[in-house]
């Protein structure tokens, strides 16, 4: 019977550890970590993600500054706001909620974030550090995948890992984190031939495709560790992953469900990254 990793439970465990550390700082009269979130416009999904982040910070006693800019904000105004957050000594982490409204340049905005406060891990300096295996900030969903593997007691070292999907936000950084953890990694995408054959060689299979139940049991090596990053909404309103959970479960050592697998880990890893940014800044500048 496969181990089913409950991402909500794992998130709760990690957040409880973070809360203890923040409580200890407060008890010692020290400054506590602070995450700034910059939202431009009224995209309902973005508004809901930002609310989720505010709630998560509040539940830990982590400080949170929310900057909600109007839809017609100019690039200059947005970048001015980012620079103000860069310079604010009380802010440790900065997240610019994506996507930005049409007409705003996301790359240019991300380039403005101080890499030492880039808790979303999207600044090219942090992307480069991930590729050099010189840890800066890695993106949150890929970090969540690595925590899930830890929970599965799966050390990637020496194992064959296959990542299906090569997006900038998920597939590519997950592959790099796995390689940094000494797995032998193959990255597959829409042009890959013999996908099923390649997946059947995987000790660790990461699905980040965005296609409901795309990975069926005939893609699975007996005893594999399977992490499903996909979130797909079906016509009946239900969510499902990229993996056919029912069919695959019987063949693997461990698997994540959707919903309730990798999904809840993303915000948790953002909070972990903010704590790391705080600790690194305190180490550089001394405790206030
Ligand atoms: P994406 O940008 O659309 O990338 C999908 C990747 O899958 C692409 O690299 C694409 O290849 C590849 N692909 C598409 N069809 C394929 C096929 N038939 N065979 C093999 N590969 C194929 O999506 P994403 O942002 O990486 O997200 C992937 C999934 O994860 C989505 O369901 C998304 O909702 C979910 N997600 C979840 C979280 C979370 O849980 N917190 C966070 C982010 C994303 P090409 O590069 O060749 O086009």
* pLDDT per residue as tens digits for the range 85-118: 999 999 999 999 999 999 999 999 999 999 999 9
Got the DSSP string for the chain? --EE--HHHHHHHHHHHHHHHHHHHHHTT----EEEEEEES--HHHHHHHHHHHHHHHHHT-EEEEEEE-TT--HHHHHHHHHHHHH-TT--EEEE-SSPPTT--HHHHHHHS-GGGBTT--SHHHHHHHHTT--S---HHHHHHHHHHHHTT---TT-EEEEE---TTTHHHHHHHHHHTT-EEEEE-TT-SSHHHHHTT-SEEEE---STT-B-GGG--TTEEEEE---EE-TTS-EE-SB-HHHHHTTEEEE--SSSSSTTHHHHHHHHHHHHHHHHHHHHH---
Q: Which of 266, 252, 182, 186 is nearest to 223 (CA)?
A: 252
Instruction: Using alpha carbons only, give the angle 273, 36, 22 rounded to the nearest 5 degrees.
Output: 55
The confidence score (pLDDT) of residue 288 equals: 59
Residue 77: which of 116, 103, 53 has the closest Cα? 103
Looking at residue 128, its pLDDT comes to 98
CA of 171, closest atom in ligand 1: 26
**Candidates 208, 261, 264, 265: which one to mutate for ligand 1, based on the most atoms within 8 Å of Cβ?**
208
* Residues 112/144/48/189 CA torsion (nearest 10 deg): 80
- Residue 76: left (phi > 0), alpha (psi -120 to 50), or beta? alpha
Residue 285's pLDDT is: 82
pLDDT at 287: 57
In this structure, which residue's CA is closest to atom 18 in ligand 1?
A: 190
The residue annotated as part of the active site, out of 97, 117, 203, 228, is: 97
55 counts as catalytic: no
Cβ of 199 less than 6 Å from ligand 1 = no
Tokens of 159: 């194992």
**Are 95 and 38 contacting, i.e. CB atoms less than 8 angstroms apart?**
yes
Closest by CA to 272, choosing from 108, 57, 110, is 57
Q: Which residues pair with 186 in a beta bridge?
A: 162
Nearest to 130 by CA among 187, 86, 174: 174
CA distance 44 to 61: 26
Residue 135: the pLDDT is 87
The Cα–Cα gap between 108 and 186 comes to 31
Pairing of β 34-40 and β 63-69: parallel
97 is catalytic: yes
Nearest to 278 by CA among 82, 24, 12: 24
Closest residue CA from atom 4 of ligand 1: 167
- Length of the chain as a residue count: 288
- Is the shortest distance between the CB of 215 and ligand 1 below 6 Å? no
Task: Pull the structure tokens for residue 124.
Answer: 């090219």
179 Cα to the center of ligand 1, angstroms: 19
- Asked whether 193 lines ligand 1 (CB < 6 A), one says no
Averaged pLDDT, groups of 10, the chain, 288 residues long: 96 98 97 98 96 96 97 98 97 98 98 98 98 96 98 98 98 98 98 98 98 98 98 95 98 98 97 98 80
Structure tokens at 84: 């103000």
Phi, psi of 233, deg, nearest 5: -95, 125
């Amino acid at each position: 019977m496969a181990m089913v990793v409950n991402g909500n439970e794992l998130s709760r465990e990690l957040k409880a550890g973070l809360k203890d550390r923040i409580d200890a700082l407060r008890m010692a009269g020290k400054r506590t970590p602070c995450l700034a979130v910059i939202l431009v416009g009224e995209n309902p999904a973005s508004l809901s993600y930002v609310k989720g982040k505010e709630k998560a910070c509040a539940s830990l006693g982590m400080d949170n500054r929310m900057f909600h800019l109007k839809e017609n904000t100019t690039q200059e105004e947005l970048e001015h706001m980012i620079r103000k957050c860069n310079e604010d000594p009380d802010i440790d982490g900065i997240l610019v909620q994506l996507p930005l409204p049409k007409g705003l340049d996301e790359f240019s905005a991300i380039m403005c974030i101080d890499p030492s406060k880039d808790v979303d891990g999207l600044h090219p300096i942090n992307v480069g550090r991930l590729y050099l295996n010189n840890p800066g900030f890695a993106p949150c969903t890929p970090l969540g995948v690595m925590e899930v593997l830890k929970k599965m007691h799966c050390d990637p070292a020496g194992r064959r890992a296959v990542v299906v999907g090569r997006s900038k936000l998920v597939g590519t950084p997950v592959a790099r984190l796995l390689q940094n953890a000494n797995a032998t990694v193959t990255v597959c995408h829409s042009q890959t031939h013999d996908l099923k054959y390649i997946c059947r060689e995987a000790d660790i299979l990461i699905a980040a495709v965005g296609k409901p139940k795309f990975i069926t049991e005939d893609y699975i090596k007996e005893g594999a560790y399977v992490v499903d990053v996909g979130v797909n909404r079906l016509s009946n309103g239900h969510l499902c992953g990229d993996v056919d959970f029912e069919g695959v479960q019987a063949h693997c050592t461990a698997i994540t469900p959707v919903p309730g697998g990798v999904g809840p880990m993303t915000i948790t890893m953002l909070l972990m990254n903010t704590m790391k940014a705080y600790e690194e800044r305190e180490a550089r500048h001394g405790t206030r």
